[in-house]
C-alpha cells in the first residue's frame, strides 16, 4: 500500500491532536462496532492498515560447490578461481540473509484494544498483549512504532496511522502525565501548547 505526503501529514496532525487530548486526561472512545475475535470485556479503539514486520536472524544454508578441472595449468587455475569466487558470493549472500533484520514485511490489519494489539498477518492473527510489553518505542515523526516483548521478536508498525496509534496505545498503558516523558513523543510534547506542528 502506497501512502503519500497528504496521508502522512493527516496522520501526524491526528496524532498531535490526540496527544494534546490524552495529556490533558482525555479518555479514548471505544469503536461503535466490535471486530471479530475479541474477548468478553475487551474494548476496541482502532482498526488500521499498517506495515508490519519482525526483527530476527535466521539460519540460511548455501551450496558449496567443488570443481574438478583438467587441462592446462592456466585453465585449471582459472576454473578454481571462478569456483572460489562463486562460493564466496554464495557464502556472503547467505550471511546477509541470515543476519538479524526486519522480516515478514506486509500490510496488515491492526486492531488496538484495551488489552492488546491484534495483528492480522497473511498467515494468522497475532496478539501482542499490553501487559507483556517490555519496550514501547514510538517514533511518530518517522511514522514508526517498535514494540518489544520478552517472549517474541520485536514488532515494527509503520504508516500514517502510527502517530495516532502510538498515542492511543500509550494512553492505555501509561498515566496521562507520563506521555510527556516518553522520548519518542518529544516532538509532540513540544507541540503540546501550540496550534500544531511547525510547517
Lowest mean pLDDT among 96-100, 131-135, 145-149, 155-159: 96-100
pLDDT band at 189 (very low <50, low <70, confident <90, very high): confident
Lowest mean pLDDT among 56-60, 88-92, 123-127: 88-92
pLDDT band at 129 (very low <50, low <70, confident <90, very high): very high
pLDDT band at 33 (very low <50, low <70, confident <90, very high): confident
Query: For residue 132, what pLDDT is reported?
Result: 95
| Cα dihedral 175, 181, 185, 188 in deg (nearest 10) | 90
- pLDDT higher than threshold 80 for residue 99: no
Cα separation, 52 vs 12, whole angstroms = 19
> Is the Cα torsion angle 197, 108, 116, 44 positive or negative in sign?
positive
**Which of these three, 40, 68, 99, is where a domain ends?**
99
Q: Are 69 and 76 in contact (CB under 8 A)?
A: yes
**pLDDT tens, residue by residue, 74-86:** 765 665 666 566 6
- What is the pLDDT averaged over residues 31-44? 85
Q: Looking at the structure, do residues 77 and 175 belong to the same domain, yes or no?
A: no
- Residue 122 CB coordination number (10 Å): 9
Query: Looking at the whole model, is its pTM more than 0.95?
Result: no
Query: For residue 1, what pLDDT is reported?
Result: 62
Q: Looking at the structure, do residues 43 and 120 belong to the same domain, yes or no?
A: yes
129: CB partners within 8 A, 6+ apart: 115, 116
What Rg value do the Cα atoms of the chain yield, rounded?
24
**Which of these three, 43, 68, 99, is where a domain ends?**
99
> What mean pLDDT is reported for the chain?
85
Domain span at residue 90 reads 58-99
Q: Who wins on pLDDT, 129 or 90?
A: 129
Burial string for 73-83 (b: 16+ CB within 10 Å, else e) reads eeeeeeeeeeb
Q: Looking at the structure, do residues 93 and 24 belong to the same domain, yes or no?
A: no
Burial class (CB in 10 A: 0-12, 13-18, 19+), 131: exposed
Which of these, 127, 125, 107, 108, lies nearest to 42 by C-alpha position? 127
**Which of these three, 99, 124, 157, is where a domain ends?**
99
Q: Looking at the structure, do residues 121 and 144 belong to the same domain, yes or no?
A: yes
Q: Are 132 and 150 in contact (CB under 8 A)?
A: yes
Q: Are 157 and 144 in contact (CB under 8 A)?
A: yes
Number of domains in the chain: 2
Joined together, the cell numbers standing for residue 165 give 496509534
Amino acid at each position: 500500500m502506497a501512502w503519500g505526503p497528504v496521508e502522512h501529514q493527516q496522520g501526524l496532525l491526528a496524532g498531535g491532536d490526540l496527544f494534546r487530548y490524552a495529556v490533558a486526561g482525555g479518555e479514548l472512545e471505544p469503536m461503535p462496532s466490535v471486530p471479530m475475535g475479541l474477548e468478553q470485556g475487551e474494548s476496541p479503539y482502532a482498526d488500521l492498515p499498517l506495515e508490519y514486520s519482525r526483527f530476527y536472524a535466521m539460519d540460511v544454508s548455501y551450496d558449496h560447490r567443488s570443481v574438478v578441472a583438467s587441462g592446462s595449468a592456466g585453465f585449471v587455475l582459472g576454473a578454481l578461481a571462478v569456483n572460489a569466487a562463486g562460493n564466496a558470493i554464495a557464502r556472503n549472500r547467505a550471511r546477509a540473509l541470515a543476519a538479524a533484520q526486519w522480516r515478514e514485511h506486509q500490510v496488515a490489519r491492526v486492531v488496538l484494544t484495551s488489552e492488546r494489539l491484534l495483528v492480522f498477518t497473511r498467515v494468522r492473527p497475532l496478539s501482542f498483549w499490553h501487559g507483556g510489553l517490555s519496550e514501547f518505542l514510538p517514533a511518530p515523526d518517522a511514522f514508526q512504532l517498535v514494540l518489544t516483548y520478552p517472549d517474541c521478536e520485536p514488532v515494527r508498525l509503520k504508516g500514517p496511522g502510527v502517530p495516532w496509534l502510538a498515542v492511543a496505545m500509550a494512553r492505555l498503558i501509561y498515566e496521562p502525565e507520563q506521555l510527556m516523558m516518553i522520548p519518542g513523543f518529544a516532538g509532540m510534547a513540544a507541540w503540546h501548547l501550540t496550534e500544531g506542528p511547525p510547517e
